[in-house]
Amino acid sequence: MLGIVKMNPEVPSSDWDHTDEDTYGLGQVRTPEKFYETFGIDVVSKTTHKGLCSFVQTGKMHKQFMSYLRSDGMGVDYNKITYKH
């Protein structure tokens, strides 16, 4: 599963089983890399930026990303977000 969500860049893609990739795929709306970059997730050290919880819990994220909601009602349009935590 870590391979599917691109959380193990240190392991070559050819080294893991891709059997369930279609079943548990990621969709086509945004890349995992864009998500990790936006929210300050380091996939190599498996850590998050220490201010991430506060950013979410205080409502700052909600207020900042509201203007980027997709017109189809399916969440945030990450193509419009330049924010990096």
21 belongs to a structural domain = yes
41 belongs to a structural domain = yes
Domain carrying residue 34: 13-80
Higher-confidence position of 36 and 85 = 36
Residue type, 66: M
Distance CA 14, CA 9 (A): 12
Q: Tell me: the pLDDT tens digits for 22-68?
A: 888 788 888 999 999 999 999 999 999 998 999 999 999 999 999 99
Task: Report residue 69: phi and psi, to 5°.
Answer: -65, 140
Q: Tell me: the pLDDT tens digits for 10-23?
A: 999 999 888 888 88
8 belongs to a structural domain = no
56 belongs to a structural domain = yes
Residue type, 73: G
